[in-house]
Structure 1
Amino acid sequence: MSTSHSGATARVGQSAGPVRVTVNLAPKAAAALDQAVKLTGDTKTDTINRSLQIYAYLEKVIQEGGTLYTRSADSDELERLYFV
């Protein structure tokens, strides 16, 4: 399936260029965005772009039967991540 953008044809899921979207963030999500921007020094746009790429990767791992773990810097113990 393809979509047309200004005469150009692109596959669904792919874009010929930037796509503008409007998002309504819940208060916790807005606070997380602000925190990520402060931690990285990136713009909100760059932070959202990176976040979506990471989210898609994590979902792919889970959908393919993988398991995700994290480890705190001060611990050797792994903790399994669950997404709800």
Structure 2
Amino acid sequence: MPAASTSTRTSGSVIDRFVELTGDSTPDGINQALSVYAYIEQVLSEGGPVIVQDTPDSPPQKLVIF
């Protein structure tokens, strides 16, 4: 069996981390991620900024997706 690509391993580890943090199932995590990504894409396509804050004390930052 061929080795997994870097993007596959990375995606798997991100999903594993999501499941670990939330206790949700992998399919639920994928559905939530797609919902959030679709929302972000909608806001950006309409010209709006997406602002994030790492912690309550950190400064707001504009999210940029390439």
User: TM-score category by the smaller chain?
Assistant: 0.7 to 0.9
In structure 2, the residue matched to 1:65 is 47
State how far apart, in whole Å, the 1-side matches of 2:48 and 2:9 are: 31
Correspondences of 1:33-44 after superposition (within 5 Å)? 33-44=15-26
* Identity across the alignment (%): 31
In structure 2, the residue matched to 1:75 is 57
Aligned length: 61
State how far apart, in whole Å, the 1-side matches of 2:37 and 2:13 are: 18
Larger RCO of the pair (alpha carbons < 8 Å, separation 6+): 2
Letter of the aligned partner of 1:40 in structure 2?
A: T
TM-score (norm 2): 0.81
In proportion to residue count, which structure has more strand? Answer: 1
Letter of the aligned partner of 1:26 in structure 2?
A: T
In proportion to residue count, which structure has more helix? Answer: 2
Gaps of 5+ in 1: 1-23
CA-based RMSD of the aligned residues comes to 1.7
